[in-house]
Amino acid sequence: MMLIYIASMVMCYLVIKKGAKTSGKIIIFTATAPFVILTILVLRGLFLEGALDGILFLFKPKWEMLWDYSIWIDATTQVFYQLSLGNGTILNIATAKARREDLLKSVLIVPLGLVLCGLLSALTIFIYLSHFCL
């Protein structure tokens, strides 16, 4: 926990000291690092005992659970939470683009990134949970 605090303080110091060039580099790193880390964790987890059981449990639905309204409430809450984070990014992209650039391509990247991040996160969680629960 202390390491995270120190790293965030160093990043804030660099942004204040160096200006916008440094903040752009930090944003590029912090935007791609979670995808790299999750991919490494999924690839490492695939070789663990019980990983296939976790993947099957994730992608094999229990159809009788669709009648439970609490599942739908939880799923809707998750979708709204993810998309509300993405809306700020979409607005930021819209203000930074030139008028003649294709905005639709840039805006489609955000939901696709959210889906990819959600799938990688779910795979990581289910792989490691199935390994530890065996």
pLDDT at 134: 73
Condensed to tens digits (0 to 9), the pLDDT of residues 34-78 reads 889 999 999 999 999 999 999 999 999 888 888 998 989 988 887
> Is the Cβ–Cβ distance between 53 and 132 less than 8 Å?
no
Work out whether the CA dihedral 89, 21, 97, 107 comes out positive or negative: negative
- Top-confidence range, 24-38, 74-88, 91-105: 24-38
Reading the block at residue 53, the tokens are 């059981």
pLDDT at 70: 92
**pLDDT of 90 above 70:** no
Q: pLDDT category, 120, cuts 50, 70, 90?
A: very high
Indicate yes or no: pTM above 0.95. Answer: no
CA atoms within 13 A on the CB side of 122: 12
